[in-house]
Structure 1
Amino acid sequence: MTAEADDLGIAVLAAGARTAMAISGGNGDGDGVGLVVRQLGNDARTRLRGGEEDATLTITTEIRGTEFVVTLTDKGEPVTGPPDAVLPLLESGVASAAEARTDGIGNLTEVRFALPTHHRILDTESLEVVPEDAALSAEPVTIRSMVTSDAAALTRAVFRCYGWSYPNPSLYYPERIAAALESGERIGEVAVTDSGEVAAHWGAVFLSPNVVETGGTVTDPRFRRRGLAKALGDRLLERLIEMRVGGRVREPVMTHPATQEIALREGATMVGCYLKITHPLQQVGITEGVTSSRMSLSVAYSALQPLEPATIWIPSPYDNIARMTLAASDWPRTVGTAHRTDAFPATTVLSTVFDSGNRVGMVDVEIVGVDLVDEIDSALHQMRRSGAEYVGVRLPANQEGLATLAAGLVELGLGYAALIPAFRPPTPDNPGGDVLITQWVAEPEIDTSTWVFADERVESLVRAIVAQTEDVGTRGVSRQRRAARRAQLFAALGD
């Protein structure tokens, strides 16, 4: 649907989006869709300040898995995030996620709304958690690639193994799993019984076209001691290599060393730690009840294809931690030296996405420009207004300007999170595809008392990340206190 960027045109687009939502079975959520479209249209109109050859707005709608997606396209001034007026709607749950970006032709602002199936969780009425010491079963299983019809069986397997304590809550929603399999966002290998129940699973989710996160590993206690996890992991790894996937990331929990140790034993490099990135939960047999704060995850990386040599440019505040990561790896990477130049791009190109369910935002920077700090500051402000508890910022580490132009990001409360090589497909602007990830945490005080580390190297890296995050996260408060004390002193001098 295309219309002029005026009151009538925006009203027509809003009405069309409401109708499309109703046809899609949105359970009366059309008013929320219409409100969001009006806010998107009004924002686009203010960015169409005159002189554009095309002053029209285009709205497209589609069902994407378990969500209804509205995308507005305009040719106004570049966007750096969803409109401010949409942010309260994200925080209140009217919309489930929002993303804004440019595509070289115009601006695209995408807002997602949950369909009824999005919140449909598995039915546990006839399910029980299988105890760890359950008798082993001799029931035969078939090992094969996962298909969409296995989604519900996987959720049942997760519940049998972990109850409600599995660290990845998305694995309790069968329709979401099926949609991700259908779209190719997720793949997996399973061991299934003759009745179709999943006895074991190992999967992968695409984080980018070049890197997957592997995990979701479960084995029903009754089917252990058969080597199912290894068999599934080997099959999945072979499949990823055949697909020419560049690398895989694993995110071991910090409350138990087993998955950290497995990753290191299999040749992975520990590359970082995402602090308070998921909701609090209880890990049966590990934590005493539900954790008091959001969960943190370590980050391990393994290359699946040979890495091409490349130079990375690291801002000085993050240099020491990045070098700790590089020292533990065999990546063909050289660290460049920061210097001033007039050749840096003037304008930063980035996109943002915010997940209202997990309160997590992500900023993806494609081009580092002179206005980098201002643009990221604006994006962070929007995320915080949306209720973000965690924001990650992915920075192109092979762009020379990063070392200079990103040096001030710590003053925005952004600490080191991870360094991942070949995360993105190589481009002339970012030939290695490497990303430096920084993170902002709403509550930067990190309780590590329950954390367990696989070895001293992991502990040193993680504690350095925690220390920096706590430091940069409280700088604003410290500055305010110093300013308040100065005001007191000057007031006294005035007497």
Structure 2
Amino acid sequence: MISATAPGTTEGVSALVAAARAAAAAHGAIDDVAGLAVRVMAEAALGRRPLAGHDTLSLSITLAGTELVIALRDQGEPVSSPPVTMLRMVDLGFLDTADARIDGSGNVTEARLPLPSHTVMLDETGLEVLDEEAPLSDAPVVLRPLEPDDAAALTRCIYRCYGWTYPNTDLYFPDRLAASILSGQRVGEVAVDPSGEVAAHWGAVFVADGVVETGATVTDPRFRRRGLANDLGERLLERLVAMGVRGRMREPVLTHPATQQIALREGAHPVGAYLHASPPLQQVGITDGMLAERISVSVFFSPLAEMPAAEVHIPATFEPLVRRILEPAGWPISIAAARTNDAPERSVLRASYTAEHRTGGLVVEIVGTDLADAVDDALTGLRSAGAEMATVQLPAAQPALAVCGAGLSALGLGFATFLPDMGSYGPALTLQWLADPDIDMSAWVFADERVESLIRAIADQARDLGDDIVRRRRRQARRLRLFAALPVAAG
């Protein structure tokens, strides 16, 4: 780790820029990008008017797998989103992500700069995409935990099954995979043949402390009809419970019901959907064909430990959908009837943007009376960067949310998910903004009526909110036209 501190002067900023350039060059990254990112972050920090005597800037640079993490700390006015120039650097591919947040010591603006290994993809030389009816193999396999050295073999397994069409594109980058396994962010179980090739996999990625998202379930067609997926799933579940994981998320696709049915069969409950969450792709396997729209996914949740009782505070616009989730699930969570506006003046939130999927994310840590303004400001930055979808995660256990969040639907934010446990964050209500809220549901297939009614209601709300915004904009335009036609008083 490299750390440096400098005054918020021209000379001080130049020194931090030089440190970032040197660190990037030492790791084989583009030094000009590192220097520009630090300069943009520093200028934005100084523009937030730090108090006299508190204009010092602190830079830290750490290696995180296949990325260089560049973070700048300042003590100016609270930050709500990364600078627009940084967001555009992400959109152009110079940075992987941009992030801004508040921690215990002030503001933190962060950029992730890709190292050369970050962009090294699977080498498909000598590989072929196997037909679903490929001849079955009788080779023995060993079931064991996924290890960093399995990363390249897992990418080859993904390719043999799906070619270049798998939606989680990180699984085509061996070094990224190895880094996430080594860090403990990703865990999994694999079936390995005598040559060391991965024949099947079921994995999980930590999304919060004690909460994982499971998926990337894949079996080489030559090793099917052995029950490997079921065996790996059971091994993974036992391992997660032993690790103290409390909750399990899944994101089954909406273009076929198989993974939804598996989730229901294993006791998971539908908790929402992310609409237009990633770019269109060519599907193979259970469903074939090019999707014309961005991909939408359902979201399921299952507790892996006893869930503590909780009371949540939900804005009225979103309360019916939360009730539709809670009542059949039977979780010990109730929606508070009392409403309060007792909140700090300023909200605290963090914002991030990822260009690969053109998605943004806001996480509200503290609900303030300015919640709608703070969220709107951050969304404006994400939209200007090219986001086609953005999520806003809200702390449902904070009593002020029901009142302070009442105006969020006017920003075009519709319901996405209600997650009863997001680790230390607590229960989370997540909303979503869509650049195109006109959702085409014609290709969607649902596991049962309960899943269908919930997800159709979410899509209908998104469409209705989009229509409301258009109506308000046109009404304002008509009003201005009428005012312009009024006679003007002489003199």
> Partners in 1 of 2:343 and 2:58 — Cα distance?
33
SS in 2 for 1:207: strand
Match in the other structure for 2:393: 394
> Partners in 2 of 1:471 and 1:55 — Cα distance?
46
Gaps of 5+ in 1: 427-432
> Partners in 1 of 2:340 and 2:60 — Cα distance?
44
> Partners in 1 of 2:242 and 2:388 — Cα distance?
37
Match in the other structure for 1:453: 446
Match in the other structure for 1:47: 48
- Cα offset, 1:280, TM superposition: 0.8
Amino acid at match of 2:424: P
> Partners in 1 of 2:462 and 2:52 — Cα distance?
45
TM-score relative to the length of structure 1: 0.95
> Partners in 2 of 1:205 and 1:339 — Cα distance?
36
Aligned 8 A contact 1:445 1:470 in 2: yes
1:246-265 alignment runs, 5 A limit: 246-265=246-265
Match in the other structure for 2:421: 422
1:304-319 alignment runs, 5 A limit: 304-319=304-319
- Cα offset, 1:346, TM superposition: 2.1
Match in the other structure for 1:368: 367
- Cα offset, 1:66, TM superposition: 1.1
- Cα offset, 1:288, TM superposition: 5.2
> Partners in 2 of 1:72 and 1:493 — Cα distance?
54
More divergent stretch after superposition (41-50 vs 96-105): 41-50
Match in the other structure for 2:208: 208
- Cα offset, 1:47, TM superposition: 2.1
RMSD after superposition: 1.4
SS in 2 for 1:205: strand
> Partners in 1 of 2:343 and 2:238 — Cα distance?
41
1:123-202 alignment runs, 5 A limit: 123-202=123-202
- Cα offset, 1:490, TM superposition: 3.7
Determine if the alignment matches structure 1 residue 25 to structure 2 residue 28.
Answer: yes
> Partners in 2 of 1:424 and 1:406 — Cα distance?
22
Aligned 8 A contact 1:440 1:473 in 2: no
- Cα offset, 1:287, TM superposition: 4.9
- Cα offset, 1:279, TM superposition: 1.4
Amino acid at match of 1:374: D
Aligned 8 A contact 1:49 1:76 in 2: yes
> Partners in 2 of 1:377 and 1:391 — Cα distance?
12
> Partners in 1 of 2:134 and 2:113 — Cα distance?
42
Amino acid at match of 2:468: R
> Partners in 1 of 2:117 and 2:318 — Cα distance?
42
Q: How many residues align?
A: 485
1:84-99 alignment runs, 5 A limit: 84-99=84-99
Aligned 8 A contact 2:91 2:354 in 1: no
Amino acid at match of 1:411: A
- Cα offset, 1:286, TM superposition: 5.0
Amino acid at match of 1:438: L
Match in the other structure for 2:11: 8
1:188-337 alignment runs, 5 A limit: 188-285=188-285, 287=287, 289-337=289-337
More divergent stretch after superposition (148-157 vs 104-113): 104-113
SS in 2 for 1:244: coil
Give per-residue Cα distances to partners, 1:31-56, cap 9 Å, x unaligned.
1111111111111112244334x321
Match in the other structure for 1:429: none
Match in the other structure for 1:377: 376
Aligned 8 A contact 1:338 1:403 in 2: no
Q: 1:470 aligns with which of 463, 471, 490?
A: 463
Identity %: 51
Give per-residue Cα distances to partners, 1:259-282, cap 9 Å, x unaligned.
001101111000000001011101
Aligned 8 A contact 1:255 1:286 in 2: no
Give per-residue Cα distances to partners, 1:413-469, cap 9 Å, x unaligned.
11000000111226xxxxxx1000000111111111110011111110001000111
Aligned 8 A contact 1:146 1:188 in 2: yes
More divergent stretch after superposition (466-475 vs 390-399): 466-475
- Cα offset, 1:208, TM superposition: 0.8
Match in the other structure for 1:62: 62
Match in the other structure for 2:102: 102
Aligned 8 A contact 2:203 2:214 in 1: yes
> Partners in 1 of 2:50 and 2:429 — Cα distance?
35
Aligned 8 A contact 1:338 1:404 in 2: no
More divergent stretch after superposition (74-83 vs 201-210): 74-83
Match in the other structure for 2:356: 357
SS in 2 for 1:474: helix
> Partners in 2 of 1:163 and 1:209 — Cα distance?
33
- Cα offset, 1:207, TM superposition: 0.7
TM-score relative to the length of structure 2: 0.96
Amino acid at match of 1:371: D
Aligned 8 A contact 1:273 1:418 in 2: yes
> Partners in 1 of 2:386 and 2:445 — Cα distance?
30
> Partners in 1 of 2:364 and 2:203 — Cα distance?
28
Q: 1:492 to 1:107 in 2, by over 3 A?
A: closer
- Cα offset, 1:487, TM superposition: 2.9
Amino acid at match of 1:300: F
SS in 2 for 1:253: coil
Amino acid at match of 1:260: Q
Give per-residue Cα distances to partners, 1:271-315, cap 9 Å, x unaligned.
000001011101114555321121000000000111000101110
Amino acid at match of 1:245: V
> Partners in 2 of 1:444 and 1:287 — Cα distance?
24
> Partners in 1 of 2:177 and 2:85 — Cα distance?
31
SS in 2 for 1:98: strand
